[in-house]
Structure 1
């Protein structure tokens, strides 16, 4: 059944396109955070192992909510690694070491990138695409990423 929520089909498609790319970014960030959780080494191993676990669990919830938002708008969420890697603007690259600071710098950079991407779209969703609901949703998502980035940044001081 067609989604009829007071937003044109064209605008729904444009919003979904941005959200789909955001979903890819979130999944790649989730995977990189899992990698940090599994592979971190050093004197602070246990503490950082638990820290990364809390972060990837939070990202898991974000991924599910975001996919459901896409479905709410009448579009399908991508769900393959190939799709995510084609859609994301984040990069995967080998890190020089498995210490917590290296992982934290990498993850912080990705959070900051997602924050900037979300911030760029808040007003576009509300004004141009007439989708206040998604604008509000990504504002909350932005705040979540800002807090997660703050947690990472605080470890790097």
Structure 2
């Protein structure tokens, strides 16, 4: 094999190896320190599950429901987009879904508030209840994963309340 053939073989090998790369895509930013999941009941008997800094307005997402609910409401923030109809994507493990949302300018943060519903039986919510892992896909949002047994217990308690 001549010199040119060796270079072509080397270039082809490099291309094949590059195509097999297992480098993960860049992750989103880390969650702000102190963020955690917390379940609580509102005065009007609605159950909420919020991921945020305790005793503050810093909240990544809020899920809410009433007993024997068919769906879970969500309220989160998007950096990009336009007010009006939109979508929010959530992922938990291999489960991923896109959900209709109403987008409005946020009064407490930059960006848009996104408000919508997810069916209680949805695969993303089922995976989240089981694993405590969830992330919002837009804007490379940070993972909003439960890191402690207390957080995972709050998540299970929330979904138990929703099912009634």
The answer to whether TM tops 0.5 is: no
Q: Which structure's residues are more often helix, by fraction? A: 1
Structure showing greater relative contact order (alpha-carbon pairs closer than 8 Å, 6 or more residues apart) = 1
Question: Of the two, which has the highest radius of gyration?
Answer: 2
